[in-house]
Structure 1
Amino acid sequence: METHANELPGAVPEPEHHAVDQINELRSKVSQLENAVDSHAAVDQAISVIVAVGRLTPAQAWDLLRETSMRTNINLRHVSQLVIAWGVTGHLAADIREESTRRQSTIG
């Protein structure tokens, strides 16, 4: 009689293929959610910088970030990180500065 490893006393049975697929899918979703939380935090911080420095409302700051991202073809998270860095260093990338200046003149 042949004994398999999962038949030994105290052995943990190997998960079924379906369970492995579910675990991998959940890991992927967790990773996506972690990225979303990080991106959301960066956008919120950038909005705060714009509100404080640019004297805009949070809604105007959000529009500024979103439209700057679209017009410069730079990911919203990256635009937000550049704005946060601007709040710390006082230096803003030229293309972001030009677009935000153009956009603020239309808000004004």
Structure 2
Amino acid sequence: MQPDAHDAESPSADGTDVPEPLVARMEAEVEQLRHSVSSHAGIDQAVGVLLTMGRMTPDEALDTLREVSSRTGTPVDRLAELLVDYPRSGSLPAAVRRELERQVVRPRADGEHRDGDGQGRDRP
């Protein structure tokens, strides 16, 4: 018996047939969007952690997050997880800790303020 053309389709909510490849693509897209929303929330939380660690604007904190990610080879979403967990755990990978110290702790201790291009400048 030959497979019917409808064998590769699934009924949709309205009873029409939807091709399985389309369903699979849509499910993958929904999962990607869920991950993106979750990742964005974590990044926003990490920006908040950086705001409390150093005297900087939200834009500067986001730039710092990206810079630390780039310099340490840690994906931004993973770095965000580490930073959000840091107040509870008190633990960061050594490379991340060193870079955060360079980018956030030392400038704050020196009274330095980061401007938009990531370069330090003295606070007024």
TM-score interval, smaller chain: 0.7 to 0.9
**If the length of structure 1 is used for normalisation, what is the TM-score?**
0.77
**Deviating runs (4+, > 6 A) in structure 1?**
none
Equivalents in 2 of 1:34, 1:43: separation in Å? 14
Equivalents in 2 of 1:94, 1:43: separation in Å? 20
**Structure (1 or 2) with the greater helix fraction:** 1
Give 1 or 2 for the bigger CA radius of gyration.
1
Counting only pairs closer than 5 Å after superposition, residues 48-67 of structure 1 correspond to structure 2 as 48-67=48-67
> What RMSD in Å do the two structures reach over aligned CA positions?
2.4
Counting only pairs closer than 5 Å after superposition, residues 31-46 of structure 1 correspond to structure 2 as 31-46=31-46
Equivalents in 2 of 1:82, 1:74: separation in Å? 10
Equivalents in 1 of 2:32, 2:59: separation in Å? 26
Aligned residue pairs, count: 97
Aligned position for 1:3:
none
For residue 42 of structure 1, report the CA deviation from its aligned partner.
0.8
Equivalents in 2 of 1:87, 1:36: separation in Å? 24
Counting only pairs closer than 5 Å after superposition, residues 69-108 of structure 1 correspond to structure 2 as 69-104=69-104, 105=107, 107=114, 108=120
Query: Runs of 5+ in structure 1 lacking a partner?
Result: 1-5, 7-12
**Structure (1 or 2) with the greater strand fraction:** 2
Equivalents in 2 of 1:51, 1:103: separation in Å? 12
Equivalents in 1 of 2:93, 2:73: separation in Å? 14
| Alignment of 1:28 onto 2:13 | no
**If the length of structure 2 is used for normalisation, what is the TM-score?**
0.68
